[in-house]
Chain A
Amino acid sequence: MNIIILLVVCAGLVALRFVPKINILGWLAGWWIAVFVFLRWGIDPPLPTSIQGMFVAILTLALLAYLSANSAHFRFVLDRFVAFTTQKKYTIPLLAVIAVLPCLVALRVYFDVTEGPAPPLSSRTIHPPPPTSIEVAGNTIDLVNDDNPYRALETEDPAAFEEHVENGRRVYYENCVYCHGDDMAGDGLFAHGFDPIPANFQDATTIAMLQEGYIFWRIAKGGPGLPSESTPWLSAMPAWEDFLSEEDMWDVTLFLYDFTGHRPRAREDHGGGGDH
């Protein structure tokens, strides 16, 4: 979302209110241009052209529907249109429109044909539902009911908890920093080489809305452990069960939350197990 464009568009519409004696045609044109400008330049990252085209078509229909809902407005516009096409004083502008419109259409076609096709996009599910249990180094871990075994220490034994977090810090900076970045914003040294880019843990849409069991699953099984709708063939996220002990993986999970200040999502609101 580009705030500046949004403000300019809104300001334009407000200004339209103060134009003296503006008729319904002016209004419709104003709205059409405003929404078009917003769709084209106001959204970041930009919408694909095909989607933009669809929205513009819907917009045009909506404005036409609005127009025909009021018979006085409709009559007025119709009269103007008939006048434009029939009266002598409009002959030259009419000829200009008839000449220019086909040229614009041809230009558009030219760009479409010469631009060449775009590479296929593969859409992926970022947070697929996790399996109910996973096997890590011969241990079965129940992702529905088991919690981070060291989370309880946070209240029971803060000193021991601190040790686990510190170990998590070591694990993170020895193994994760190249991709997820020193500040966990997903912008490590190698991040630009991967698509999808490494997860940004500072962002509210990653660990902040997930349970620790889910994080553990993602760390242990990585990209190769994802189901097919999450395009595991592209994810560079390593399967850390090959490198790290179970404890290291729970510890680094603690550290992700500790460093970012997020809290893991509690169990109830996931609809899963009942305990807190």
Chain B
Amino acid sequence: MGGVGTIRNNTDIAIRPARRERRAVMRFSRWGAMSCALGACLCIALLPLTVSAQPAPDLGTDEQREAGRLLYMDKCAQCHGETGKGDGVAAPFMRPMPRDFTAGIYKVRTTPSGQLPTDDDLVRVIRDGMPYTGMPAWPQLNDDEIRNLVYYIKTFNDDFSGPYGVPDVVEIPDPPSFSEASAERGRVVYEENQCFDCHGMAGRGDGPSAVTLQEQWGNHIRPADLTKRWTFIGGNTREDIYRTFTTGLDGSPMPSYSITPIEDSWALVDYVYSLSQDEPDYATSATAQYANDPVDPVQGRAAFGEERGAYFPVVGQVIESGRSFMPGVDGIEMKARYNADEIAILLSWHDMSAETMGSNAPDMEVPPTEQVVRDTVTSIWSDAVAIQFPQELAPGGLPYFLFGDARQPVDLWFADLASGEGRSYVGRGSGNLLAGETSPSVRATYEDGAWTAVFTMPRDERFAEDTFVPIAFSVWDGFNDERGNRRGVTGWYYMYLEPSERPSPVMPMLRAAGLTLLVLLSIVGLVRFRHRTSVPA
């Protein structure tokens, strides 16, 4: 355990022996052996922390627990199950699964790895929820109600009432202010501690181990995409990030680290923090800029300028048969350029792994009875993406956003990323897709956890200057068995084709100012004239 940080263990040999040890056997092979060994060292390091005299755990009164139980049955049991086992009716549709409270394993804690959370930790996670997972926030419950829920949840696991019921608390020091230099140093710390093994070199959750990680409960789990901190389940302030890697997320493969010196801890925080903005800033329209020369798709992103494109939310297609409850992709970025003959659209999205084996198509059958699947590497379905436009721009309305309808068809530009070739379809509903006439030319690359696909098509009369063209997207993640109707979708958004000649504001400004001046002068002149003539000298 030198200057570089050490991985603390997820198991809790020192603190909660026998019972937990059996359950807590690490399922993820790579880290198992290593962390057990380190954990043994660490328990010695942690011992002094645990010998302090322990006050009795606060378990609430009978009334409080009963009030909590009633609330739990009303608001939580449908996911977490009536007996707290995480097997409520909604459970099969969520990833990660709702927590099994009988296990007594919690992710968001201010306590050392392996220990139970404090009451305040539970209060916080219930009130704020875990964004982008099935666990909702509960701002509508008051403090007492949440407290009662906590008392009730604690009854599911005996450890809360035993000697481990009063956990140690890891102090989170006041953060120094953010600095670029510290974030720079953090990159090195990130590499030294091999965070990239799971989170990837660019932090997009695409590390080499990412596809094999498993939760305590046996399901695959994706490493967080560190470039989207609005999705962090434990909060996205710098203190939260510090706490996440200092105490780890128990039950998930995310280990706990003790990174010394403390400056390096904050450097790592700053690095992670520097990878993204606070909010996704979802767009409702994207701008296609005019370019004299045709876009060179080989240049990829560089051909479209540096600035961030329009970012649209992608959600599961849960409307028609073949539903996708846990889409692999949660957002897609778009940029566009056009010239007299062509329109080029760049799409970019983060994907934990590139599936380039097998094939995919928007009209593949998904048996309605197929079990809801969780991430698996089957190599049957490849990653794919599609752009959708109304075939005609009717003033009265748009086609149905799921591949059009009988009245108004859509054009679909589709790319199967295994073959990398583009195809087009005419859609009159997802059950009625026919091959289209002209296929888009597509160039797609996968790098550091991000797909980038550039579509180029001849520019038809729909794409006139200074118009808003409705646009929608579908994304398929092969790793998640997505194909056909099982996909990530967006609603209708707009692409605005910026006029090739931007009208200069100078003339209209001069005209308006001149007119105003004229009016003012004539008023003053008139008043003065009348005044002089009416008041005799």
CB of B357, distance to nearest CB on chain A (Å): 29
CB of A127, distance to nearest CB on chain B (Å): 18
| Known contacts A102-B514, A117-B496, A234-B492; A82/B527 CB under 8 A | yes
Contact check: which of A114, A177, A233 meets B90 at CB < 8 Å?
Answer: A177
CB of A12, distance to nearest CB on chain B (Å): 29
Contact check: which of B78, B491, B524 meets A98 at CB < 8 Å?
Answer: B524
Contact at B136–A234, with CB atoms within 8 Å? Answer: no
Contact at A86–B315, with CB atoms within 8 Å? Answer: no
Contact at A182–B136, with CB atoms within 8 Å? Answer: yes
Contact at B78–A169, with CB atoms within 8 Å? Answer: yes
What is the CA–CA distance of A105 and B505 in the complex, to the nearest angstrom?
13
Of B33-41, B112-120, B258-266, B392-400, the stretch lying at the interface with chain A is B392-400
Of B150-158, B240-248, B316-324, B335-343, the stretch lying at the interface with chain A is B316-324
Contact at B93–A178, with CB atoms within 8 Å? Answer: yes
What is the CA–CA distance of A237 and B401 in the complex, to the nearest angstrom?
12
Within 8 Å CB of B494, what residues of A?
119-120
Within 8 Å CB of B321, what residues of A?
242-243
Of B160-168, B169-177, B515-523, the stretch lying at the interface with chain A is B515-523
Count A interface residues, CB 8 Å. 54
Contact at B468–A120, with CB atoms within 8 Å? Answer: yes
Smallest Cβ-Cβ distance to A189: which chain B residue? B134
Q: Is B448 an interface residue (CB 8 A)?
A: no
What is the CA–CA distance of A117 and B468 in the complex, to the nearest angstrom?
9
Contact check: which of B396, B408, B510, B521 meets A106 at CB < 8 Å?
Answer: B510
Smallest Cβ-Cβ distance to A222: which chain B residue? B319
Q: Is A232 an interface residue (CB 8 A)?
A: yes
Smallest Cβ-Cβ distance to A99: which chain B residue? B517
Give the contacts of A227-244 with B (CB-CB under 8 A).
Answer: 228, 231-234, 236-238, 242-243
Give the contacts of B71-97 with A (CB-CB under 8 A).
Answer: 75, 78-79, 88-90, 93
Q: Is A122 an interface residue (CB 8 A)?
A: yes
Q: Is B462 an interface residue (CB 8 A)?
A: no
CB of A188, distance to nearest CB on chain B (Å): 8
| Known contacts A82-B531, A232-B400, A238-B319; A113/B520 CB under 8 A | no
Contact check: which of B75, B282, B498, B523 meets A192 at CB < 8 Å?
Answer: B282
Q: Is B182 an interface residue (CB 8 A)?
A: no
Within 8 Å CB of A173, what residues of B?
78-79, 88-90
Q: Is A190 an interface residue (CB 8 A)?
A: yes
Contact at B398–A174, with CB atoms within 8 Å? Answer: no
Smallest Cβ-Cβ distance to A238: which chain B residue? B319
Interface flags, A232-266, vs B, CB<8A=1, else 0: 11101110001100000000000000000000000
Q: Is B53 an interface residue (CB 8 A)?
A: no
Contact check: which of B315, B400, B498, B505 meets A109 at CB < 8 Å?
Answer: B505
Within 8 Å CB of B236, what residues of A?
none
Smallest Cβ-Cβ distance to A181: which chain B residue? B136
Q: Is A55 an interface residue (CB 8 A)?
A: no
Q: Is B212 an interface residue (CB 8 A)?
A: no
Interface flags, B502-537, vs A, CB<8A=1, else 0: 010100111011101100110110011001000000
Interface flags, A144-178, vs B, CB<8A=1, else 0: 00000000000000000000000001101110011
Contact check: which of A102, A122, A187 meets B397 at CB < 8 Å?
Answer: A122
Within 8 Å CB of B397, what residues of A?
122, 228, 231, 233
Q: Is B490 an interface residue (CB 8 A)?
A: yes
Q: Is B313 an interface residue (CB 8 A)?
A: yes
CB of A57, distance to nearest CB on chain B (Å): 17
Smallest Cβ-Cβ distance to B131: which chain A residue? A189
Within 8 Å CB of B401, what residues of A?
233-234, 236
CB of A75, distance to nearest CB on chain B (Å): 15
Q: Is A110 an interface residue (CB 8 A)?
A: yes
Smallest Cβ-Cβ distance to B509: which chain A residue? A106
Contact at B316–A178, with CB atoms within 8 Å? Answer: yes
| Known contacts A105-B516, A106-B510; A182/B78 CB under 8 A | yes
Known: A102-B517, A231-B397. 4 other contacts (CB 8 A): A116-B496, A173-B78, A173-B79, A242-B320
What are 8 pairs between A and B in contact, CB < 8 Å? Answer: A102-B517, A106-B509, A174-B89, A178-B318, A183-B140, A195-B491, A233-B400, A234-B398
